[in-house]
Structure 1
Amino acid sequence: MLPPPPPRNTRTCPSPAADRPTLPMPPAAPSPDPYRDWADLPELPLAEVLRRLLPCIRSLYAFAGTCRPWRHLLRASAADLIRPRIPPLLLLCPDFRLVPFSPLVVPQSLSYPIPAPAEGATLLSASRGHLILLRRGSFNSLHLVDALTGAERRALQLPSPHFPYHYAALTPSHLLLFHSMHAFFSLPFPEHPSPNNNNARPDWTKHALPRAASIVTTVIEFRGRVLGLTDRAQILEFHLGGAPSNQAARLLPTTGLPDATRFDRLQFGPHLVAAGDRLLLVLFMFEANLAPLVFRAPRVNKIGVYALDWARMIWEEVDNIGAYTLFVDIAGRSTVACVDVGNCGVEENRVYVGVPNSRAWRRPLPPGWEASPNVEGLGLNSRETMACRPLASPISVHPRLFF
């Protein structure tokens, strides 16, 4: 009998996978949260979203209403990205309607609730998304109204009821109120009233203007500076952050402009505007007086546009402002420079003018346009054209959200 066979070696070679360490399983993907925090999205793609929403104001408000960081991003981008790419709305009075330049901005005209302070008030300016109204008589007050909604934001007691206030403007930190060639008042804005007395008298500060300065008609921001313009096209710079009251404004010497008698100072005035990195000045030029012995009301027959050379402080007349378009608001004493708004039907390298008592922007004209001697020109000298109500029309409007 044969011996039994030796036991077979049943050991098997381990597979390579058997020697691998055991890895923990990844956690299960969380279920979609309808209340996800959108505030942590990176800024770069959000800025691209903002670009794609332009120029629709309704979409931009929806973006800003998503969360506070998005609202802050919109406001931080407004000066360079938002405002230059939205043609201003026109507020028509006395029917109080907001009319867009294009349906892409707002699908249709909007009814505008009549602001209570508008009754018997005088418009001092449209500034940073506000209408600044002056009420005399028993009120003697200054009213700041939201330019888009008509809601009153603040009513302020005047520094004195006796001064002939002619212009007011908002800066990022102050409200400025002008009453003469020699002085103006400032008030921190937004102002924080006393917690114990909401009716406390506002703490106005009086400042002196340079002796050589004329009447201030415009205040704008340019590269972080607050600049002013007088009716003689003089440039001032304001310093309101703790500067002595007699040093809050200084005159910047410039040359290169025509004599002040050659452009309109009172009805239309010069207009200062920031167009990207350039500071531009718009002058409504009078026609040459060909017959000095024949009296005739001067007629505006040319739109002159000048750019400031900061290195030499010289104004140079230009006939091309590139892709920019200027919207000059006579009633609101403001000018807007837009760029890349061809999709709204806006022509580039043109100047649009909003004349009181008209219903729309005047036909666009190129910088330096001049009427021929036998043509009526712009029609900007007729008394009928300039006879305006205290709340003149039209007024250009940008929402307060964009400031």
Structure 2
Amino acid sequence: MKPLETHPLTAGGSAMPEFRDWGGLPELPLSELLRRLLPCLRSIYAFAATCQPWRRLLRASAADLLSPGLPPLLLDPRSRSVVPFSQAVLAQPLAYRADLTAAEGANLLSASRGHHLLRHRGASDWETRIIIIDALTGAERREVTLPSPLFAYHYAALTASHLLVFHSKHAFFSLPFPDPNPNPNASASGPRWTKHSLPRSASYVTGVLEFRGRVLGLTDRAQLLEFRLCGSPQSQTVQMLPAAGLPDATAFNQWCFGPRLAAAGDRLLLVLFMLEPKSGSIVQTRLVNKVAVYGLDLARMRWEEMESIGAYSLFVDCTGKTAVACRDVGSCGVEENRIYVAFPGRRWRSFPPGWEVPPGDAVFGVRAMGRAMGTCTWPSQILVYPRLFF
């Protein structure tokens, strides 16, 4: 982008036009300009459309600049619309272009790195595929045949280099992504999945997160794992990271409202939905009665319960198995030091860290949340992260 500018008068008295390369402006003023456009996605789209250098800057800085300053969007597959937290982000819901009816009967595995990952059984009982759909526009859609139709795949995630698919608490498969076959001379018979073993003491992996250059995983029992898929011997692909300080796994919900990891700046946060104490009844249905947030002390590898998460706000979508931390998003009507949980009907409910159900209250807060969302299946609400749009 090189608009004309008037050059100072030459000796002959005439003005000489000059081209100025605005696309070559230093990153610092451009980053400041981009920050001032928040939270309006329309303005951010205009910034991205200006020229390739500005678009590259947006992609490079999105994780550190955009994502912390924008509350996530909700995708409602039934109405095929993307709904913002407030009109300051989008004046009206955004039409979702993906034809999700084609994925009817598919099970949502996760929302990861800007994509929705769904497991779909094909026309044949011996064919099971994973459908990968671009989260914002749905314009990018690919299907990959899974290793075996007999496995009960429960979670999938994308990293910067691989697609990971988990089918038990003992093993998972990996596939280079986005190009599963970088060798043009290789056989075109199908994707070449690699099988990996998980630590024997690990439970079911329910979340994968990139944090400070590391790929971390979390199990339904809040065990912390680290994945090293590039260059490590296969026996050392996944390692358990010992971390103390958490309550016993029987004290928090493990699946419906399972543990959720979120990166909040240089802090790693863990959200636990605590269960009411056991009453001794064998048939007791234990409801969630507290939302607790823990921060990891990396030096001591110890989780510590936090009474405050400062200027951050946490957004949790239990059915989408995702969580994200935002900072300084007051212009969108978001309160800091709150945990926002996605509910059916495109609604959010918020709780302060450590919030507990008042004694004797059987239908308020997270108790009602348990009844409203306990049986949610696809189609469900899915978080769409702004940093993954570009």
Give TM-score, length-normalised by structure 2: 0.90
TM-superposed deviation, 1:203: 2.0
For the pair 1:396 / 2:383, whether they are aligned, the reply is: yes
Partner secondary structure for residue 347 of structure 2: coil
TM-aligned CA distance change 1:131 to 1:30, over 3 Å: farther
Counterpart residue identity of residue 289, structure 2: N
Q: Name 1:94's counterpart in structure 2.
A: 78
TM-superposed deviation, 1:93: 3.2
5+ residue gaps in structure 1?
A: 1-23
TM-aligned CA distance change 1:294 to 1:200, over 3 Å: closer
Q: Name 1:242's counterpart in structure 2.
A: 231
TM-aligned CA distance change 1:121 to 1:27, over 3 Å: farther
Counterpart residue identity of residue 108, structure 2: L
5+ residue gaps in structure 2?
A: 1-9
TM-aligned CA distance change 1:30 to 1:169, over 3 Å: farther
Q: Name 1:350's counterpart in structure 2.
A: 338
Q: Name 2:305's counterpart in structure 1.
A: 317
CA deviation string 1:138-165 (max 9, x = no partner): 2511111011112343211111221111
| C-alpha separation in 2, matches of 1:58 and 1:186 | 37
| C-alpha separation in 2, matches of 1:308 and 1:132 | 28
| C-alpha separation in 1, matches of 2:222 and 2:138 | 32
Could you tell me whether the CA contact under 8 Å between 2:62 and 2:387 is conserved in 1? no
TM-superposed deviation, 1:196: 7.3
TM-superposed deviation, 1:110: 1.8
TM-aligned CA distance change 1:197 to 1:98, over 3 Å: farther
Q: Which moved more, 1:194-203 or 1:210-219?
A: 194-203
For the pair 1:339 / 2:309, whether they are aligned, the reply is: no
| C-alpha separation in 2, matches of 1:188 and 1:196 | 16
Q: Name 1:269's counterpart in structure 2.
A: 258
Q: Name 1:208's counterpart in structure 2.
A: 197
TM-superposed deviation, 1:304: 0.6
Could you tell me whether the CA contact under 8 Å between 1:89 and 1:396 is conserved in 2? yes
TM-superposed deviation, 1:57: 1.6
Counterpart residue identity of residue 386, structure 1: G
TM-superposed deviation, 1:358: 3.8
Could you tell me whether the CA contact under 8 Å between 2:70 and 2:386 is conserved in 1? no
Q: Name 2:214's counterpart in structure 1.
A: 225
| Higher relative strand content | 2
Which of 1 and 2 has greater Rg? 1
Counterpart residue identity of residue 256, structure 2: Q
Partner secondary structure for residue 361 of structure 1: strand
CA deviation string 1:114-136 (max 9, x = no partner): 33542211110011111011101
Q: Name 1:8's counterpart in structure 2.
A: none
TM-superposed deviation, 1:190: 1.5
Counterpart residue identity of residue 31, structure 1: P
TM-aligned CA distance change 1:184 to 1:29, over 3 Å: farther
Picking from 82, 85, 90, the partner of 1:106 is: 90
Over the residues paired in the alignment, what is the CA RMSD in angstroms? 2.3
Could you tell me whether the CA contact under 8 Å between 1:118 and 1:391 is conserved in 2? no
| C-alpha separation in 1, matches of 2:374 and 2:259 | 16
TM-superposed deviation, 1:66: 2.0
| C-alpha separation in 2, matches of 1:174 and 1:226 | 11
Picking from 341, 355, 360, the partner of 2:347 is: 360
Q: Name 1:371's counterpart in structure 2.
A: 357
Could you tell me whether the CA contact under 8 Å between 1:124 and 1:134 is conserved in 2? yes
TM-aligned CA distance change 1:101 to 1:244, over 3 Å: same
Q: Which moved more, 1:42-51 or 1:57-66?
A: 57-66
TM-aligned CA distance change 1:347 to 1:383, over 3 Å: closer
Partner secondary structure for residue 108 of structure 1: coil
Q: Name 2:29's counterpart in structure 1.
A: 45
Q: Which moved more, 1:150-159 or 1:213-222?
A: 150-159
Partner secondary structure for residue 379 of structure 1: helix
Counterpart residue identity of residue 214, structure 1: S
Could you tell me whether the CA contact under 8 Å between 2:180 and 2:191 is conserved in 1? no
Give TM-score, length-normalised by structure 1: 0.87
Could you tell me whether the CA contact under 8 Å between 1:147 and 1:399 is conserved in 2? no
TM-superposed deviation, 1:268: 1.1
| C-alpha separation in 1, matches of 2:12 and 2:165 | 65
| C-alpha separation in 2, matches of 1:384 and 1:347 | 24
Taking the TM superposition and a 5 Å limit, the aligned residue runs for 1:77-226 are 77-113=61-97, 114-115=99-100, 117-138=102-123, 139-191=127-179, 193=181, 195=184, 201-226=190-215
Partner secondary structure for residue 355 of structure 2: coil
TM-superposed deviation, 1:271: 0.4
CA deviation string 1:234-271 (max 9, x = no partner): 00001011212221110000110000000000211000
Could you tell me whether the CA contact under 8 Å between 1:141 and 1:157 is conserved in 2? yes
